[in-house]
A and B are shown apart, each in its own frame.
Chain A
Amino acid sequence: MKKLKSFLTNPQTVTGLVILVIMLGLAALAPVICPGNPLFSVGKPLQAPGGDFIMGTDYLGRDVWAMLVWGSRISIIFAFGASLLSLIVGIVLGALSGYIGGWFDDLMCRIFELFYIIPRTFLVILMVAFFGSSVGLMVIIIGITIWPSNAKIMRAQVLTLKSRGYVQAGNVAGGTKLGILFKHIVPNGMGPVLSNSILQMAQAVLTEASLSFLGLGDPNRASWGLILNAGQKHINSAPWLVIYPGIALALLLLAFNLIGTALHKTLNVKQAAME
Chain B
Amino acid sequence: MTFYVIRRIFIGLLLLVFMSVAFFALTRVTPGPPFSTGENPRAHQELIDRRLHNLGLDKPWWQQYPAYLNALAHGNLGDSYVYNQPVSKLLMERVPNSILLLGVSLIFSLLIAIPLGILAATRQYSKVDTATSVASYVGISIPSFVLGIFLLLAGAVWLRHATGGTFYFPLFGMHKSNNTGLDDLAWHMVLPVISLSILSIAGFSRFMRASMLEVLHQDYVRTAKAKGLPGRTVNYKHALRNAILPIITLVALQTPQIVSGAVITEGIFSWPGMGLLAFQATVTRDYPVILGVVMLVAALTVLFNLLADIAYAVVDPRIRY
Please indicate whether A and B come from the same complex rather than being unrelated chains. no
